[in-house]
Structure 1
């Protein structure tokens, strides 16, 4: 692959291989900040999904958002679990705190509804596996909301790796930090290990963890990790984490994540014949800026901004409408949770932990 070919038609949706008609009607379960600010607008502007039901603890306080997006039905969590308004939606998007994902995802599966669920699917590997099994038994689509897998820069990078443009990938460096308390209070559920399942590793480190697995298309064989917390609001979770992952190809990845550092994200793949650097891949809006070096050729690319959340929901809707299995499925999340649990074990024991 010539480098200029990699940048041609950069934002193409290579997953949109067949036509799809209609839309998938979604019930949004949990309408917190991300759902209001990113998910609902993305669904509204997208092509393959529409919001028809809001599920919230306070339906009376959601009338404004329902009116803004022309949503006909607003119900509470108990009504959802009891099967209310199942005729009004085809699938659900789960955006509650992590510890509640399972009950809503499995209920939806029991109702015969498709599921797109925020990552991680649950707070432990065993609980996440219950969601996967419920959706498999019900024959419904399950997608973990790894939106970067649908984003053009990451998808073009995977093509470069597959085509051997940078040779064999030897090292990967990824980092994601976000000063959590600048946008959330100290009692946020993200700092409660029972609700979140962990700290910076679960909430931020999962981005490089999953994206690297997607780019390399291979599984980790071992992990070594260290965590640190300064106390105070971070006393019960990992405030900072550093982890190294080994892969079956011999590639190693060094990653960091932090709840209490200057906002930053970066991803770089170094191969035997070149490298790829992606600018700010994990911050929510990828600027479509990347540098590729292959031999003695170096190219910089800056493309139009793409709403990765819109891509994510259109991808999910397209999969449901065409009967296509999504790449970021339930098994994809289980693989990440195995690595996350191994990382926490490593941080506790100070030893490398192998992964089968």
Structure 2
């Protein structure tokens, strides 16, 4: 194995984007939380609180009881969605984190943009590509920064994987295999009456909710965008009627590189990302879940190296990145224009699933 590998895996959890000393931050970025669901409570809020660059100050949700509970537990100002959209407490936050059902992102991001607040919007950015475009335009027209919550891009494991690919340790990438699956009604909730199973709110299920992880992470690691896609979806369980339960799709990148991806909302919990090149391969397994420690393996010349990964809290890294870049007035990546590629790709995969044809992506 190339001795230079140590240059990339030593100090594995380093923040290669950080220039500001966390101890010097007296006034962290104040965040309004839009959406008080389980992900906000269990992962986003702890990440915000662990980050030296951010603090939560306001929370809103259509569920008044959830607002009261979160506000009380974390000493936040709780407001109704109507009060938030009206800007009643806009002086209490600098930026807005939107974690509501996909089809409601646009209205809340629009309100934040009209208030002149920076936005961190969960992915997928919206339920359709057209609404995603409108969301990006609202922020651009208002001149407010927009970051999209692709937490894998600030995860040190994914960043070191990208470093290794960029450095040529596996040669030129040839193909990618990625998978992500879970038993959604068992792991997340046993209640089939939820927004992910409502196509009007989610835009789809397996592809929209978890297919975006292999799609976007592959784009990030390869530093390339797909030029065409194809896919297939299927639904068997009655709870998933009207949305996709399982999906398989193929991404075609420039120079003939292809990614084959499989996702499921009703299969054994697993995730894996494997990138094969002309001289070796890199494997991240498990890959995409925020609640798991990831392991990275690099194979080259008949030798395999397994890298022991120091665990990092993905949401802490994401919010630290967001707050840091606001405080230093540094452009975000991933931004809204980056996320639009995913929105268009997901829509094209659904189109391919209906027509059976490969669908080219517009630039």
- TM-score after normalising by structure 2: 0.95
Q: Distance in 2 between matches of 1:201 and 1:154?
A: 21
Please tell me whether the aligned partners of residues 222 and 246 of structure 1 are also in contact (alpha carbons under 8 angstroms).
yes
Partner of 2:353: 347
1:40 counterpart = 2:45: yes
Of 260, 282, 290, the match for 1:254: 260
Q: Helix, strand or coil: the match of 1:305?
A: coil
Please tell me whether the aligned partners of residues 36 and 70 of structure 2 are also in contact (alpha carbons under 8 angstroms).
no
Greater shift, 329-338 or 283-292, is seen at: 283-292
Greater shift, 113-122 or 278-287, is seen at: 278-287
What is the Cα-based RMSD across aligned positions, in Å?
1.3
Please tell me whether the aligned partners of residues 150 and 315 of structure 1 are also in contact (alpha carbons under 8 angstroms).
yes
Greater shift, 14-23 or 202-211, is seen at: 14-23
Partner of 1:335: 341
1:274 counterpart = 2:280: yes
Per the TM alignment, residue 19 of structure 1 is displaced from its structure 2 partner at its CA by 4.5
1:173 counterpart = 2:146: no
Q: Distance in 2 between matches of 1:175 and 1:155?
A: 19
1:176-232: CA deviation from partner (whole Å, max 9, x where unpaired) = 101111132111110111000111000011000000000111110111101000151
Per the TM alignment, residue 61 of structure 1 is displaced from its structure 2 partner at its CA by 4.8
1:62 counterpart = 2:67: yes
Partner of 1:3: 5
Q: Distance in 1 between matches of 2:348 and 2:67?
A: 40
How many equivalent residue pairs?
A: 355
Q: Distance in 2 between matches of 1:74 and 1:248?
A: 48
Q: Helix, strand or coil: the match of 2:120?
A: strand
Q: Helix, strand or coil: the match of 2:57?
A: strand
1:41-61: CA deviation from partner (whole Å, max 9, x where unpaired) = 111111111010011224455
Aligned runs of 1:76-87 on 2, under 5 Å? 76-87=80-91
Aligned runs of 1:207-226 on 2, under 5 Å? 207-226=213-232
1:162-186: CA deviation from partner (whole Å, max 9, x where unpaired) = 1111000101010110111113211
Please tell me whether the aligned partners of residues 102 and 131 of structure 1 are also in contact (alpha carbons under 8 angstroms).
yes
Q: CA 1:61/1:142 → structure 2, altered by over 3 Å: closer, same or farther? A: closer
Per the TM alignment, residue 296 of structure 1 is displaced from its structure 2 partner at its CA by 3.5
1:128-187: CA deviation from partner (whole Å, max 9, x where unpaired) = 111111111222110100000000110001111111110001010101101111132111
Per the TM alignment, residue 329 of structure 1 is displaced from its structure 2 partner at its CA by 0.6
1:96-120: CA deviation from partner (whole Å, max 9, x where unpaired) = 1001000000110010001001101
Of 73, 83, 99, the match for 1:95: 99
Aligned runs of 1:92-241 on 2, under 5 Å? 92-182=96-186, 183-184=188-189, 185-241=191-247
Q: Distance in 1 between matches of 2:67 and 2:20?
A: 37
Please tell me whether the aligned partners of residues 42 and 309 of structure 1 are also in contact (alpha carbons under 8 angstroms).
yes
Please tell me whether the aligned partners of residues 175 and 266 of structure 1 are also in contact (alpha carbons under 8 angstroms).
yes
Aligned runs of 1:257-336 on 2, under 5 Å? 257-336=263-342
Structure 2: stretches of 5+ with no match in the other structure: none
Q: Distance in 1 between matches of 2:338 and 2:296?
A: 26
Q: Helix, strand or coil: the match of 2:133?
A: helix
- TM-score after normalising by structure 1: 0.97
Please tell me whether the aligned partners of residues 109 and 140 of structure 1 are also in contact (alpha carbons under 8 angstroms).
yes
Q: Distance in 2 between matches of 1:291 and 1:217?
A: 20
Per the TM alignment, residue 326 of structure 1 is displaced from its structure 2 partner at its CA by 1.1
Q: Distance in 2 between matches of 1:194 and 1:61?
A: 23
Q: CA 1:286/1:158 → structure 2, altered by over 3 Å: closer, same or farther? A: farther
Structure 1: stretches of 5+ with no match in the other structure: none
Q: Helix, strand or coil: the match of 1:47?
A: coil
Q: Distance in 2 between matches of 1:276 and 1:237?
A: 33
